[in-house]
C-alpha cells in the first residue's frame, strides 16, 4: 500500500474541516444568532429575510397620499395624479472570518484521536470571533469602515451631525478595535439611505425628540413616554428598546417598587439565554455594552427592519488557499447580507449626549 503524500494528507484535513463545518453549521448559526441580545431580537422578531442572489436588495416604499375634498352643489371637483411610492435599493455587504492552519500543526494533530478536536477548536475559535465582528457591525454605520454593512446608526443617525472623526467619542459614537472609523455617522436630514435622500424626503427620517433630552437620572421615564408616543402616533408603536447600561440602570431604579413588570415572550427567551431584560409599556427593553458611553436609547419597530441574507452564502466556508512559499493555509467563513429598513419614521433615537442631540 502506498504511503500518503503530503498533498493527499493536506487534502484529507481540508475535507475534515469542510465536513465538520457543515455538520455544525446549522448549530453554529443558531449559536451566533443567540450569542448577543440584538441578534437574538432580530431572530425572534422574524427579521431575517432570505434572498437568493440579485444585484441589489430592493423594497417598494409607499409614502404618498391623496387628499379628498368636501363638495356641495356646483363644486368644481379637482383631480391629480400623486406619486405614491418609490423604490429603495441597497447593495449587498459581505463579512468574512479567516481560519488559519499550518502543515506543522496538521502533522502534530493528524492522529485519529486528535484531528477532530483540532478541527473543532479552530472552527469554534473563528465562530466566536465572528460573533463579535457581527455585533460590532450592528452597532455601527456603513461608512465607518471599508465595506461595512449598514448598522443601526444608519437607521438612527445622531440628530446633530457636526463631529470630525476625532470627535466621535465626544458624540458618544462607538469606535472599535478594527481601527478609527474613516467617516462619521450620517446626518439624519441629509444622508441617503437605500438610495432615497433624507434631505428632500422628510418621511424617510427617523423620529427624534421635540427638544434635547437631558438629566436622565430624574427625567428618563417621562422622556421615554413622550418619545414612545411621538414615534407611535397612536398608529404603530416601537416593539423593542435597547440602550446603554447607564440608561438601563436609571430606568430600573425608577421602576423599582412602582409597578409590576409584565414579561413578554421575548423577555422569557432572552432570560433563558442569560440576557438582562425588562419591559416598557409592555415592550421588551434591554441594554448592550456596544452602546456603552453613548447615552443613547434606540426605540425600534422590528416589523420594518430586515437582515436580508443569501441562504446560499450565509456562514459558508470557502476552499483552502495556500500561501506561496509557506506552509500556512487559510479558508474563510463568508456571509452575504445587509441590514435594511422600510419605515424609518417608526423608529426613534432618544439621545442624552449634549453634543449629539442639539
Q: For the segment 49-64, what is each residue's pLDDT rounded down to a tens digit?
A: 999 999 999 999 987 5
The string of pLDDT tens digits covering residues 177-188 is 667 888 888 888
d(CA 180, CA 222): 36
* pLDDT(1) > 50: no
Cell 476625532 belongs to: 166
CB 348 within 8 A of CB 299: yes
d(CA 298, CA 172): 13
The ranges assigned to domains in the chain are: 6-49+89-351
Q: Dihedral sign, CA of 338, 343, 345, 347?
A: negative
What's the predicted TM-score (pTM) here? Answer: 0.88
C-alpha cell at 242: 435597547
Length of the chain: 358
Q: What is the mean pLDDT of residues 103-119?
A: 76
Residue 8 has φ and ψ, to the nearest 5°, of: -70, -35
C-alpha cell at 183: 467617516
The string of pLDDT tens digits covering residues 125-176 is 888 888 888 888 999 999 998 899 999 999 999 887 666 777 788 888 877 7
Amino acid at each position: 500500500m502506498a504511503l500518503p503524500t503530503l498533498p493527499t494528507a493536506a487534502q484529507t484535513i481540508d475535507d475534515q474541516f469542510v465536513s465538520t463545518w457543515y455538520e455544525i453549521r446549522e448549530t453554529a448559526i443558531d449559536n451566533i444568532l443567540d450569542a448577543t441580545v440584538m441578534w437574538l431580537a432580530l431572530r425572534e422578531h422574524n427579521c431575517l429575510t432570505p434572498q437568493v442572489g440579485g444585484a441589489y436588495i430592493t423594497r417598494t416604499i409607499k409614502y404618498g397620499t391623496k387628499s379628498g375634498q368636501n363638495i356641495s352643489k356646483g363644486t368644481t371637483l379637482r383631480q391629480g395624479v400623486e406619486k405614491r411610492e418609490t423604490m429603495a435599493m441597497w447593495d449587498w455587504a459581505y463579512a468574512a472570518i479567516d481560519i488559519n492552519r499550518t502543515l506543522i500543526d496538521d502533522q502534530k494533530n493528524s492522529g485519529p484521536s486528535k484531528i477532530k478536536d483540532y478541527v473543532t477548536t479552530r472552527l469554534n475559535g473563528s465562530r466566536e470571533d465572528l460573533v463579535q465582528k457581527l455585533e460590532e457591525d450592528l452597532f455601527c454605520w456603513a461608512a465607518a469602515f471599508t465595506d461595512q454593512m449598514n448598522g443601526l446608526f444608519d437607521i438612527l443617525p445622531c440628530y446633530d451631525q457636526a463631529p470630525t472623526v476625532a470627535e466621535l467619542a465626544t458624540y458618544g459614537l462607538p469606535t472599535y478595535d478594527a481601527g478609527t472609523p474613516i467617516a462619521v455617522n450620517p446626518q439624519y436630514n441629509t444622508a441617503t439611505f437605500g438610495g432615497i435622500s433624507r434631505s428632500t424626503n422628510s418621511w424617510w427620517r427617523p423620529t427624534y425628540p421635540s427638544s434635547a433630552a437631558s438629566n436622565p437620572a430624574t427625567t428618563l421615564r417621562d422622556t421615554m413616554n413622550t418619545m414612545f408616543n411621538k414615534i407611535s402616533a397612536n398608529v404603530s408603536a416601537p416593539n423593542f428598546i435597547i440602550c446603554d447600561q447607564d440608561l438601563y440602570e436609571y430606568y430600573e431604579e425608577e421602576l423599582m417598587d412602582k409597578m409590576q413588570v409584565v414579561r413578554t415572550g421575548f423577555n422569557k427567551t432572552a432570560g433563558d439565554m442569560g440576557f438582562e431584560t425588562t419591559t416598557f409599556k409592555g415592550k421588551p427593553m434591554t441594554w448592550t455594552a456596544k452602546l456603552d458611553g453613548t447615552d443613547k436609547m434606540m426605540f425600534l419597530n422590528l416589523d420594518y427592519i430586515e437582515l436580508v441574507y443569501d441562504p446560499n452564502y450565509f456562514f459558508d466556508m470557502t476552499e483552502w488557499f495556500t500561501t506561496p512559499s509557506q506552509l500556512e493555509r487559510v479558508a474563510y467563513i463568508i456571509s452575504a447580507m445587509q441590514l435594511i429598513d422600510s419605515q424609518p419614521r417608526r423608529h426613534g433615537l432618544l439621545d442624552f449626549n449634549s453634543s449629539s442631540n442639539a
